[in-house]
């Protein structure tokens, strides 16, 4: 995704699709492994709940980092991309602050208040905003490399669960007729 631009929409769609499937696969793997690796079957709910809580906590930290990176990066990419584009399209230097206020409002009435605004300036500014946001998001996607590398390193620590893949049923809660089974050996 860090290689995409506003002109490479097909590439972005392809990467988002592949990434979404990869994240789904990883989620299913972790949920399954957590449930399989629990030694006491009565603790499956606790283990999977704790696993979900840890994933949520990590996601919250990652989201905070991504938002901070995006916000900081936009403070440099927007002025670097938009100002030259709108000045090059004919907007006077004195109208630059008014242009940014109008862009924040996002209404035609706000743009009409900007002195020296033309349709060419609006079009150039809109295209430059796309480039600025694309550059900022590219940086955010590059920061995901750190989380990916950490995940890959941690994946090497996962033990082989092949021995746990048996036909043995740890707990039967109902018999074939759907009746609740009696408690046996402390396990329902």
Other C-beta atoms closer than 10 Å to the C-beta of 153 total 9
Instruction: Parse the chain into domains and list their residue ranges.
Output: 9-164
Task: Write down the pLDDT at residue 123.
Answer: 95
128 Cβ contact list (under 8 Å, min separation 6):
81, 82, 84, 85, 86
Task: Write down the pLDDT at residue 41.
Answer: 79
Q: pLDDT truncated to tens, each residue of the chain (188 aa)?
A: 888 888 999 999 999 999 999 989 988 888 888 888 888 878 888 998 999 899 899 999 999 999 999 999 999 999 999 999 999 999 999 999 999 999 999 999 999 999 999 999 999 999 999 999 999 999 999 999 998 899 889 888 888 888 887 777 666 666 666 566 555 544 44
Q: How far apart are CA 172 and CA 182, in angstroms?
A: 10
12 token code pair:
């972005």
């Amino acid at each position: 995704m860090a290689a995409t631009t506003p002109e490479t929409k097909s590439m972005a769609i392809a990467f988002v699709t592949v990434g979404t499937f990869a994240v789904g696969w990883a989620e299913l793997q972790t949920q399954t492994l957590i449930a399989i690796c629990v030694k006491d079957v009565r603790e499956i709910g606790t283990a999977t709940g704790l696993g979900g809580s840890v994933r949520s906590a990590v996601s919250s930290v990652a989201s905070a980092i991504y938002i901070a990176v995006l916000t900081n990066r936009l403070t440099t990419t927007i002025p670097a991309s938009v100002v030259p584009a709108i000045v090059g399209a004919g907007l006077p230097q004195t109208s630059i602050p008014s242009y940014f206020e109008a862009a924040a409002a996002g209404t035609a009435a706000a743009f009409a208040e900007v002195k020296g605004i033309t349709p060419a300036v609006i079009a150039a500014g809109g295209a430059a905003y796309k480039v600025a946001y694309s550059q900022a998001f590219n940086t955010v996607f590059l920061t995901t490399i750190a989380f990916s590398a950490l995940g890959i390193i941690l994946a090497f620590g996962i033990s082989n669960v092949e021995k746990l893949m048996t036909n043995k049923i740890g707990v039967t809660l109902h018999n074939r007729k759907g009746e609740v089974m009696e408690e046996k050996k402390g396990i329902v």
